[in-house]
Amino acid sequence: MRHFWIGSLLALAAAQAVADCPGKDDVWADQCFEPAGDGERLKKAYLKKVKFDKSGHAVLTREPMELAAIDRLGVIKVPGIYFAGDFDYQDAEAGIGRFGVQRCGYFNVKTYQIVIPATYDQCQPFHAGQAVVCNDCIRYCTQPECQDSVLAGERILALDANNRELRPAWRRSVEDICKQQGVLEERRINRSSLYVRCKPDPADPFRKLQ
């Protein structure tokens, strides 16, 4: 009888674990996944709960609010999908969105194929057929809410969707962002971005007179 109850409790615990994946609001916790090679995959027991699209992929919301694309085997193909910006998933320009956890790259938002591997510290949204990226660099927001930003560093690259360099690498400093006016203020917005406020341009006809 004791073994029967132990077996029943284990079965109930297993059923409860399956029931909790996904959790509230269809968010998938870490315990729903397992290691797979150099990455992770959704545990096999939960695959029947996932609806895949025509490309054979599904996008799941992971804790804490991270999007990840998996294939039919549950393997995470695109982790850390960017989705909060104006030019990211699902509205990325030319269908090329950003992704990454520690480092960033780009993927096709329809096929979920990676077009530029996540080997960069900073990645700007694709615009006008190119992506601006860099390593050992800083993202400077030119507005407090960071609606616009510029990368500054020793080696900045412009890439196309085939991961080809469109021009020689170049250098940009925070002084280059403010040009002749000079930097008035620098402050951190988040882990990866700073806000820069330039001194008023004395030649600006719209600048309010003090």
pLDDT digits (tens, 9 = 90+) for 2-27: 444 444 434 444 444 455 899 999 99
- pLDDT tier, 203 (very low <50, low <70, confident <90, very high otherwise): low
Please give the pLDDT value at position 18.
54
CA atoms within 13 A on the CB side of 146: 17
Please give the pLDDT value at position 1.
47
Summarised one tens digit per residue, pLDDT across range 56-114 is 999 999 988 899 999 999 999 999 999 987 789 989 999 999 999 999 999 999 999 99
189-190-193-199 Cα dihedral, nearest 10 degrees: 10
Better pLDDT: 102 or 208: 102
CA 121/CA 130 separation, integer angstroms: 17
The answer, yes or no, to whether residue 205 has pLDDT greater than 80, is: no
The answer, yes or no, to whether residue 165 has pLDDT greater than 80, is: yes
**Residue 4: burial class (beta carbons within 10 Å; 0-12, 13-18, 19+):** exposed
Summarised one tens digit per residue, pLDDT across range 30-53 is 999 999 999 999 999 999 999 999
Please give the pLDDT value at position 98.
97
